[in-house]
Structures are given as C-alpha cells and as structure tokens.
Amino acid sequence: MIGIAAAWIVILLFGGGFALDRVLNDAVTRNFDNQLEYVLTAMIASAEIGPDGEVFLNRPLGDQRFLEPNSGLYWQISGRGHDDFPSRSLWDRTLESNITHDDRETHIYDSNQFADEPLRLLERTIILPDSETKWLFQVAQSRDGLDAQIANIRSILINSFLILALGLIGMAALQTLYGLWPLRKIRIAIAAMRTGQQRRVVEPMPNEVTPMVDELNALLDHNEKQAEEARRHAGNLAHALKTPLTVIMNSATAKADDLADTVIREAGVMRRQVDHHLARARAVGRRGHAHSRAKVWQSLQAVERAVGRLYSHVRIDIDGDKDAFVAVERQDLDEMIGNLVENAAKYGGGSVFVTVETGDSFVELLIEDDGNGIPEKDRQRIFDRGARLDSGKPGTGLGLAIVRDVAEIYEGSVSLEESEDLGGLLVRLRLPKCESVES
C-alpha cells in the first residue's frame, strides 16, 4: 500500500510539476518577448528615411545597453541595396538577416549565430514612407538572463515538489501503518487463541475492523458448535453400539446356541444406528454451504418416480408452487422427501397427496395419505430412533428420526397432524425458503 501510494504521488507530482514548469516557462519567456517587442515597436516608430535614402532613427532608444559594445542587447535595420544600420552594441558584429523573407507580423525565434552568446531575436518587415524598400527591423537580446531566470524557477519547483513528495509519502506511510495497526492486534489475538490463552478476540477494536472481529468470533462459535455436535454424535453412536456389542460378546463368551441369530439381530441394530448417524453427519457437513439451494418440484418429481416403481399400486399426486426453492442441499432434500413419501405409500391406503406451499421465509411440504393415521399420543414417540407402530411391514424405524434431525440441522421442522381431506396422516415439513434463482 505504501509503495502504491508513493508511486501515485510521484507520478502525479511529476505530471503537475511538468505542467507548472511549462506554464511558468512560457510566462517568463512571454514577458521577455514583450519587452523586446516594445523596443522593436519604439524603433519602428522612430525610424525615418534620410535625403540619401538611408534609414535613421530620429531619436535614440532609451536603453543605455544599445550604446555599450557587446552588452547583450542589440538592434539592426537592413534593406536590399543598402548598408546595414546596426546599434553600437553590436560593435564589429552584425545580425544575420534574410532580406527576402517578408515578416509582416513579428517573428520571434532563438538564434545561435553568436558562438558564445545565444540570442532571442525578434524581427519584422516594414515599408517606411517615402521609400519602396522593405526594411527588416531586428531586435536581439542574450538569452543568458532568460535562461538563468528559468533555471532558478525550475530549481525552486524541483526542490519544492521533492519536499512535497517526501512529505506526502511519509504521511501516506504513517496513515497506512496507523490504519493497519489494528490488524496486528487481531493477529496477536489469533495467536493467543491458537495457544489456548484466550477463546475469543475480546480487545476493543476500531469501528472499521469491528465487523471483521465480530464475524471472526461468529466463525469460532460456529466451528465450536460443529465440533461439539460431532463429539456428541460420536458419543451417541458409541453408546448405541455399546449395548449390541455387549450382547454379542456375552453370547460368544457363553457359547450360546443362538449365537448366529444374536449376531444377525444385533448387527442389524448397529447398522441402523450407523446409517442414522452418517445421515446426520452428512447434513451437518453440508449445512454451512453458502450456496445451498434446491428446487422442491424437481425433488418431488424424482421421488414420485422412484416410489412409484416400488409401490405401483399407490397413486401419488403433487400440487402447489412449482417454483419454490429451499436453502437445503438437493441430496438432503431428496432424502427427507423420499422417507416421508415412502412412509405414506407404505402405510397408507393407496393414495398420497403432496402439496407445496410458500410463505414469507419458509416453504412447507404437506404429505397426506389415506391410511389409519397415528394417534395423537404416539406422534411424538414415533420420532424416536427405531420406533415403529406397525412392525408387520419391513423397515428400520429410522425414517422419521432422520427427517427430523436433518430438518433441524437446516433450521426447519417436521410435525405430524391429521389429514382433513384423506383422513390419514398429514406430515408438515417446514424448510427455510431460498430465492427462486437457478444456478
């Protein structure tokens, strides 16, 4: 940041200094030329033609330097067929003149005709009264004074802009260091958290970095929550597997006659527990994804086709908002809807009706069947892992438990009610709404 600021300061000051140098240079040069043009005008105004046809000045020019040899200020009048009429300051030298060149307006240029003295020269062609000759009036002055004045101004500009650049770069460096200093405090706080000295960034920070600190602390809270969930699920799984393993170990130690049946039965229990916790782990891992989005209607159609092949005698109808999106991963949405629709087809009387309703912040899926329903006193217990009211049909008793756990992970909910239209069970699955934009 300091390097970029320094580079921009140098570029801008160089551009500004160059422009200011050209403006001042032009102003000083223009003032210098105006003085010479005033002398040229005065010389033309005092020029006359004598009886012999030669030009002369009816009054001397006021500057004493025209009378001093090699003074640096000169004038000369030239005409075709006539001798040059120079100032005494030229002494034994003459100004180069192009008689054929017709300058009706003042012509200004630099000349190096004197090897040791660069000149600034003004000339103009005039036809005087009583003369048909084109007279070339020239005024020249040494550039030494002009160049010295320009060099002095340029030196002042360079020194001033150099000091200004150093001051601005120093100020930018101080501002950058001061502005980024809170990040050093954050780094120290993070290092303290890594070494276990503190759990959060608690030191007061400037307003500019406070939102970042808040987000950092929120991220730490989120990670701790996920770690705690992982520990809890690992503990639950270990506790759930402990009892079946104990049963198997006891049967094996006692060399029981029904050891094979016991292993098969307890292995099935362990498999159900593993499947349940794996489903929760997958949902927890995908929950924090910022772009979780799934279209409800696509999942419903996929589930309808899959369940329709398993239960060909069941009629499944879907209705409602076809453009509803939920902030849930597609795989998790398919698993929840699949469990609910399959249960409705399995335990219903042959008709399943699914409705999609969209609210302000949630999308609700109503899955209804025409079966016997579930008594109100059993509706809470049915969500327990392995709970089954109808043991005559195949199943693990984990479907509703998995749906409840995955829905809660996405801050949704699932509840059981009585269907007014079909008379059986109504399952209300509520999930957070997402903008209806397909990725």
Count of structural domains, the chain: 2
Which structural domain, as residue segments, surrounds residue 304?
294-434
Residue 94 and residue 176: Cα distance in Å, rounded? Answer: 65
Q: How many CA atoms lie within 13 A of 262 on its CB side?
A: 17
Q: Are residues 265 and 316 in the same domain?
A: no
Identify the bridge partners of residue 126 per DSSP, sorted by sequence position.
135
Any idea which residue has 């005092």 for tokens?
A: 46
Where does residue 226 rank: exposed (0-12), middle (13-18), buried (19+ CB within 10 A)?
A: middle
Q: Same domain for 227 and 320?
A: no
Structural domain ending residue among the three candidates 241, 263, 287 = 287
User: Across the chain, what does the average pLDDT equal?
Assistant: 84
* Residue 133, in any domain of the structure: no
Number of H helices, E strands in the chain: 7, 14
On whether both 240 and 306 belong to a single domain, the answer is no
Q: Would you state the pLDDT for residue 396?
A: 38
Are residues 356 and 235 located together in one domain of the fold?
Answer: no
Residue-by-residue DSSP string for 158-204: HHHHHHHHHHHHHHHHHHHHHHHHHHHHHHHHHHHHHTTS-SS--S-
**Has residue 200 been placed in a domain?**
no
Residues 6+ positions from 67 with CB-CB distance below 8 Å = 87, 88, 89
Same domain, 279 and 400: no
Rounded distance, CA 333 to CA 124, Å? 95
Which residues in the chain show pLDDT less than 70? 233, 235-236, 239-240, 276-277, 279-291, 384-399, 435-439
* Same domain? 242 vs 320: no
pLDDT of residue 238: 74
pLDDT value, residue 395: 43
- Supply the angle between the helices 259-287 and 330-347 in degrees, to the nearest 10: 130
Per the CB < 8 A criterion, the answer to whether 279 and 405 are in contact is yes
Are the CB atoms for 87 and 76 separated by under 8 Å? yes
Residue 401 lies inside a defined structural domain of this protein? yes
Domain boundary residue, one of 254, 287, 320 = 287
Q: Collapsing DSSP states into helix, strand and coil, what is residue 126?
A: strand
What is the predicted pLDDT for the residue at 393?
45
Domain boundary among 287, 314, 330: 287
Distance CA 138, CA 106 (A): 10
Q: What is the pLDDT of residues 349-381, one digit of tens each?
A: 889 999 999 988 999 999 999 988 888 887 777
Spatial separation of the C-alpha atoms in residues 325 and 434, rounded to whole Å = 5
Domain membership of residue 354 (yes or no) is yes
Specify the pLDDT at position 387. 46
Tell whether 318 and 419 lie within a shared domain. Answer: yes
323 membership: H or E segment, kind and range: none
In a domain, 185, yes or no: no
Residues 219 and 326 in one domain: no
In this structure, the answer to whether residues 258 and 307 fall within a common structural domain is: no
In a domain, 90, yes or no: no
- List the structure tokens of 1: 């940041």
* CATH number of the structural domain spanning residue 411: 3.30.565.10
Backbone angles phi, psi at 78, to 5 degrees: -130, 145
What residues have CB less than 8 Å from 182, skipping those under 6 apart? 205, 206, 208, 209
Axis-axis angle for helices 210-254, 144-194 (nearest 10) = 30
Helices 399-409 & 259-287, crossing angle to 10 degrees? 20
**Is 312 in the same domain as 400?**
yes
Q: Are residues 301 and 424 in the same domain?
A: yes
Task: Count the Cβ atoms, other than its own, within 10 Å of residue 287.
Answer: 19
pLDDT of residue 439: 41
The C-alpha atoms of residue 240 and residue 234 are separated, in whole angstroms, by 10
Model pLDDT, residue 389: 45
- Domain annotation covers residue 58: no
Q: Which residues of 362-375 are buried (b: 16+ CB within 10 A; e: fewer)?
A: ebbbbbbbbbebbe
Question: Residue 369: what are its φ and ψ, rounded to 5°?
Answer: -135, 170
413 domain residue, yes or no: yes
Same domain, 280 and 329: no
